[in-house]
Structure 1
Amino acid sequence: MGGWRVLGQVWGAWRRGPGVRAVPSASGFGTEAGHQLRPRGSRNRSRPRGDQPFPGLLQLENLGRKELVDVLRAAVVDQKGPLVTLNKPLGLPVTGKPGELTLVSVLPELSQSLGLRDQELQVVQASGNAVTDGIPATSEGKIQAALKLEHVDGVDLVIPVKSPSRKDFQEGVKRTLSHFRVLAMGSGCALVQLQPLTAFPSQLQVHMLLQLCPVLGDHAYSARVGTVLGQRFLLPAESTKPQRQVLDEALLRRLCLTPSQAAQLPLHLHLHCLHLPGVRPREAPMKLLAPLPPYFSRTLQCLGLPSLPAGKRGVGGGMNLPSDLNE
């Protein structure tokens, strides 16, 4: 998944740091304009080419640690004191197993390269707009669900919990809330603007799943939506294993993808706009805009959906940091 990642020298992972708070907004989706990053040399493509149907994905096998740090330096959009904002390259995982090349694994080298010396970088992340397989029943609303994280067959998966008890909450179940708004519809899909009001792993993916509209490229949870005679329903989460997302033939034709290419479809969930408070007291808030990944723009083009506008106040998926993002 592409989009913005915010790094701060004194922020612990999932812990609130000084001067970081949600920015109030009348609509919940917009404040003042600020910075915008434009991709270099990227173009929308109407058709996939060969075995690389999704342009812009980072090929980690071709990079060493030093080369990855150089890539991340080039992706830095804004740096003010302890706050570094970068557009994380597509295909780079945030975390992974010991010894794997990830964003977190090279943060010490990136900190040195940016002149932060011994100051530690940590990651804060959020998500914004999504293309969904299916159209929500209502044009906008809120999604509330109690979620828990379970280790199933060696994989951490998020499971909805119906009617959770007090004991459930003591054991890690959390109430979650997201707002959504359908921006456009076409070819049985929707472009949806999302704003999480809480933070939980895979929250937005699971919330859209509960609307029977899995995110395109969701190979972890989309199998939980079944179809009988054209009607969608939820399968039991506890007994449904992750599998590659299966798209119907009409949608594959519209996306100009073969079934094998669709099995590699990246997750179409992108943080397009992020609002941050000023680093210092009385400093104006910042609005940070990230361009769509090439594969995301290509999908919108194939589906006849409008691309997200850039640089306009309150339009295109403004995202305030959830109030408990770092808890």
Structure 2
Amino acid sequence: MSFNDILGQADAKKILQSGLRKDSVNHAYLFDGPAGSGQMKTALTFAQALFCTEMKDDACGKCLECRKVEHGNHPDLYLINPDGASIKIEQIRGLQRVFSYRSESKNPKVYIIDHADTMTNQAANSLLRFLEEPPIPAVAILIAENVQALLPTIQSRSQRVSFSPLSPSMMLQVLINEGYPSPLVRCAVHLSSGLEGCRELLEQNWFAEIRNVVLQLGKESMGRGSTSLITAGTKLFKAGLSEHLDILFNLFHLWFKDMLHVQYERHESIVFIDQLEYLSSQAFSRSTAQWVSYMDLAAEAKKKLRYNVNGQLCLEQFLMGLDD
């Protein structure tokens, strides 16, 4: 791994590599940002660079120290993940026991706590004491989506390194290069903030099916005497896809937004680009305000789902709203 292999996150990489170059590595870092924006990969690369015997501000990936990190068996690197829904005090105590032994190398020990914002109060208080007075040279990397869930004292004792969601265009290129179908990728990158989340969607057979249903319903709902309610019943509920209605409404939102992109000649922003001919034929059949109102309908339907309104009722009300 190398910092060059990490997509985006120029500011985060600059902070970390500057510390490596100047020998001013902090004792604790707090990586905050949305899931899927590369925090864990960056944390492992940073640890690798700290251990690397060949480079100052990056990981060569070839020396013995780098290879140990790559293979997950470096004795000076310790990872903690939630045990169930949270990180518990026993896990922090285990960390403290491991770090009570001095390293045989000149490396500092490095520990990475993923989902640090799930620590119980007891675990957080135990970690705080360890952060302040580690028994041996150590570098902590805490990864959190919800920084406010961490103790203010932990926040104040850590250097904040913020991560941003990867741009859809950046993820699009990577996933297409990996061989995923372009029409599906163009949708997935607008539904997830990270590559892993996109890959999970793209690996699901139902995702392609839901997209096809949206295309069919989107086209049927534009004509008079729409049969979209019948289609919804057979293609969604009888086909066992009803548990993915939240994705369906998100895709509808993108479909209507594409109509606006056509109206304003922003073809580079179109998600359903394989449907450009149809989009172009229909974009001016409604006013801008009407397409926006359809987007609002999709958002409202998704909101009702969150409040446990019956899914079939949500969809039927949404489709009937498109006929108004």
Higher strand share: 1
Alignment TM-score, normalising by the size of structure 1: 0.26
Q: Structure 2 length as normaliser, TM-score?
A: 0.26
User: Looking at both structures, which has the greater relative contact order when contacts are Cα pairs under 8 Å and sequence separation is at least 6?
Assistant: 1
